[in-house]
Chains A and B, each alone.
Chain A
Amino acid sequence: MPDFGKLIDEAAIVESRLAAMQRVGKVDRKIGPHLDHLVMYSSKQEQFWGNANPSPANFTMYHSWRNLRLIFSKMRVRFAQAHVAHDNPLVVEQARMIFPRILTTIATLVSMESDPTQTNSDDVMNYVRELRSSARAVQMIDPRDNLKGVDKAKLITAFDELLKPMTTSD
């Protein structure tokens, strides 16, 4: 059983550090290890649900944790490079803009972990879609990371398959 308590603790620490950074208008590098923890945790959950039996509900869990991992990874990189990239204090403001959505998504995923029913899947997918969209708007997710390490040939085959029914009319 994953330590959800630790996850919530780390997310709360990040949230409070972001608030403190916003007050002083400066990046605090001590946030790094906490973001590392969130990246690691999301990655573990992503792997766990990736190996689960294929089902729409399990896919929802996998897809959600994967997007969280992509967001935390990008956030981690931006905070690490903030001093050299002159991203200070914009990175703090932008991280704060999406953090409430991150917390809502995490809370929903944690409650779903015990019972990933199809009923909740659509709602969770909507939270995650809106989170991804907000993260894109403030450069807290890199769309190119979505393609990293992915087999391009298989991706093209999947798109061909997806578009096939749309080109046939009844």
Chain B
Amino acid sequence: MRLFGYLKAHREIGLVTKTVEIEASHKLNSAVTQRLNPSLSNEIRSTVLNLCWDRMHELLGCLAMVDVTNKSRLAERLGDVVTMYGKLLGAARQTAGSKVRSHVKSRLTTVPPYLRGIASNIYARQFLVDRTQLRRLLGKSPSLNDQTILAEAACLTEVYNKIEATTMFLASTDLLFSPMLNEDGTVKSDIITVEIRQRFSVECDWPHRISQRLE
């Protein structure tokens, strides 16, 4: 079942914040204005955008709109999020050539000399594959809105866990939150996702994987 189908059937568990709604809307606007062929008429673009907006509102209608009322806590958590991404960016910069070589060298100590040539290539490749999600930070940083969304999720996790043990999922296709997947759906790289889980107890994942976990 798709995530929204599940959330429609279980209306008490899906949440959305104003920041998420505005960010989703920005994404739709920029897709229509920037991704569509420039030769398309404004009328077609406008019609597409209205259809997307209407669909978005239908989908959001099965979620509860919530707000983080404790703004000072939100500011603290946002600071934590910014710090985390800063540290992760530092770690991403450490994946340059010399670090790969020192990592490979440390692993080769137990490998028989006749296999070292092949093994070093495999270790180097694996080192980079494991850090693919992390290395995305070198090309793209999360926007302030994205970081606010994560901080809001972290605050809401705290609020709900004071009432009862709760797992907070953050459904996203943004690879600066959710793990990178292989073509067969298995996890390829998830260093950022794991860090978010450990620091904020928020489970970022793809919508279809969350719905599988909920069913």
- Of the stretches A12-20, A22-30, A54-62, A108-116, the one at the interface is A54-62
Q: Do residues B47 and A133 form an inter-chain contact, with CB atoms below 8 A? A: no
**Contact pattern, B 30-70, Cβ under 8 Å of A = 1, otherwise 0:** 11111111101111111111110110010000000000000
Q: Do residues A161 and B29 form an inter-chain contact, with CB atoms below 8 A? A: no
Q: Which residue of A lies closest to B33 (CB)?
A: A56
Residue A76, interface by CB 8 Å:
no
Closest Cβ–Cβ distance, residue A84 to chain B (whole Å): 28
Asked whether A54 and B35 contact (CB < 8 A) given A63-B49, A125-B29, the answer is no
Asked whether A155 and B42 contact (CB < 8 A) given A133-B53, A162-B31, A165-B35, the answer is no
Q: Do residues B42 and A50 form an inter-chain contact, with CB atoms below 8 A? A: yes
Q: Is the interface of B mostly helix, strand, loop or mixed?
A: helix
**Contact pattern, B 2-32, Cβ under 8 Å of A = 1, otherwise 0:** 0000000000000000000010011001111
Residue A119, interface by CB 8 Å:
no
Residue A126, interface by CB 8 Å:
yes
Neighbouring B residues of A63 by C-beta, 8 Å? 42, 45-46, 49
A150 to B30, CA, bound (A): 21
**Contact pattern, A 120-158, Cβ under 8 Å of B = 1, otherwise 0:** 011001100100110010000001001100110011001
Contact pick for A158, options B48, B57, B183, CB 8 Å: B48
Closest Cβ–Cβ distance, residue B81 to chain A (whole Å): 22
Given contacts A59-B46, A125-B29, 8 further A-B pairs with CB under 8 A are A121-B29, A122-B26, A125-B25, A155-B47, A155-B48, A158-B36, A158-B40, A166-B173
Please give the residue numbers on chain A whose beta carbons come within 8 Å of chain B beta carbons, in ascending order. 49-50, 54, 56, 59, 62-63, 66-67, 121-122, 125-126, 129, 132-133, 136, 143, 146-147, 150-151, 154-155, 158-159, 161-162, 165-166, 169-170
